[in-house]
Chain A
Amino acid sequence: MASVAATSPGGTRYSHDVANDGDQLLAEESQLIRQAQEGDRTAFAVLIERYWDRLFRWLYHVTHDRHAAEDLTQETFLKAFAAIRRFQVGTNFRAWLFRIGHNNFVNLHRARVGQKQAITPDLAATLVGPVESAAQREILAKVTREMARLPAEFRAVLQMRIDEGMSFRTIAAVLGITEETARWRVFKARQRLLQACTDLQEIANKVRELEVLVDESVAEDSEREPK
């Protein structure tokens, strides 16, 4: 519990897990990992069930290709199972899994340079529920489109930070970059989304003004981030 909390200090979905299920969930996960290390496929299948959706979601955002994301997700779990004996129980399993997924993505990307598949812009509109307001639907559609235009490395970091609630230290470890680079990418990605999605001129102007302060901000931010 302590080590995971230290590397991933709460956050959206993750903090929900910790808050609601806490130590029991982590103890259960550790037990499943130990069983998997003994060759128990059923135990590992529970871990697959638990992490499939989040890993697939992240890989889909990075690849923008459903079939590639599915293949990468499968490959990630197979590689994780093959290497599970080397995993140190008690450390961050999710980060380890994402690290394998990222390596798979990098390998695929090298093999498929230039075959980028654009995300379907209308996907947002078709899948948003009826309770959404028109304004929310519009923002979701804009964010979906703008996310698709961001470079993959920016999407990867932003999703880890916003969607997975990972700490910058964990993101850096998963992607093999520095914490400062991770912070800078999140800052720039949010800035770009805000710039593209806002209809308020006053906010658009502010975002443009902030361009010159990026470096300064990232430096300050790095001192505050909990480790």
Chain B
Amino acid sequence: MNCRLACQRLLATSGPRMLPDSVQHHLVQCEQCQRFKEQLDQIDKAVRRIPIPDSSIAKTAFLERFLAEPTLVSRQTPRRMGWNWTLVTATSAAVVLLGLFITGWLRRGPTPAEATSDVMLEQMIAHQLALASADSVNRRVEILAQMAETLDEYTRQLALVAEINDLESLSKLFVDVLGNKGLSGKAELVPALNRKALLEPIVTNLVRMAAAQEEMAGHVPPNRIMAFRRMATAAREARDAIRRKLQEDDVARCSPDGLAVLGGKS
């Protein structure tokens, strides 16, 4: 082995690897290559010892915050199911709305419609954050109802200016927010004691939304009608589902042991 080949092998041998026997034999006989290796060893050693800033304060603070947050519950619990759905819906909302805003802006430049979708985006993200941190079914129901209101209001404002695909996406999101995995499903889980007070105003709003969406369907071009009809239907179905639940409560309240079941007072 010559010096050039030995140095080449030395440079190519790094980390935990052992030097080939042929190189080691050459090193025993060649002082120049020994110095080459020593220099290389010093550099590797220096690489391992390059000073970096102390991050122990950041680590301690992070660990404290990390441990202070509530422990995740197992995936079998209802809470976990609700959380997953929340995340999916919220993320979908953000993606759809962001897409709406960006595509619209790129296509036409800032217009009143963009300003509208921007405000809607902000509101939906705020809902998303609130939903992610909601600690009770009641609170989740409230936020889902607010999301539905936001979507109802802004889809009508954007009825003539949004792209058809965006409108379709918003309308499907509205259906999801009100569906069995959304407001209708969560309303079932509201404790009996608070159910009426919490849900009756929501039913009133759903009635209003259904009427408004139906009316809007009568004023938009034919290719946009379906999106608003779908929203009107979803609002009616959610209204009916919640009403049924409230009626069941009324029946239970009239039964002999109903007061105990509903936690009411005599």
Contact = CB atoms under 8 A, between A and B. Distances in A.
Contact of A48 (B20, B62, B72): B62
Contact of A217 (B11, B15, B53): B11
User: Chain B binding site: helix, strand, loop or mixed by DSSP?
Assistant: helix
A60 B48 contact: no
A90 interface: no
Contacts of A183: 12
Contacts of B47: 143, 147, 158-159, 162-163, 193
Given A39-B71, A41-B71, A203-B39, A143 B11 contact: no
Contact of A144 (B14, B50, B66): B50
Interface string A161-182: 1110111000000000000000
Interface in B12-46: 12-17, 20, 32, 35-36, 39-40, 42-44, 46
Nearest to A216: B8
**Chain A CB within 10 Å, residue with most, of B4, B15, B72:** B15
**Which 6 pairs between the two chains have the least Cβ-Cβ distance?**
A39-B72, A127-B51, A143-B46, A11-B16, A10-B16, A70-B58
B49 A15 contact: no
Contacts of B73: 39
A49 interface: yes
Interface string A35-61: 000111110110011001100110011
A10 B97 CA distance: 50
Nearest to A206: B7
B208 interface: no
A226 B8 CA distance: 19
Contacts, number: 155
Interface string A50-83: 0011001100110000100110011001100100
A88 interface: no
Contacts of A202: 32, 35
Given A49-B63, A139-B42, A161 B51 contact: no
Contacts of A220: 9, 12
Interface of A: 9-12, 15, 38-42, 44-45, 48-49, 52-53, 56-57, 60-61, 66, 69-70, 73-74, 77-78, 81, 123-124, 126-128, 136, 139-140, 142-144, 147, 158-159, 161-163, 165-167, 183, 186-187, 190-191, 193-194, 197-198, 200, 202-203, 206-207, 209-210, 213, 216-218, 220-221, 224-226
A69 B12 CA distance: 30
B162 to A, nearest CB: 29
Contacts of A162: 14-15, 44, 47-48
B55 interface: yes
Given A166-B15, A194-B11, A217-B12, 5 more contacts: A190-B14, A190-B40, A206-B3, A210-B4, A225-B17
**Chain B CB within 10 Å, residue with most, of A81, A124, A128, A206:** A206
Interface string B176-198: 00000000000000000000000
Contact of A147 (B11, B17, B32, B50): B50
A128 B40 CA distance: 20
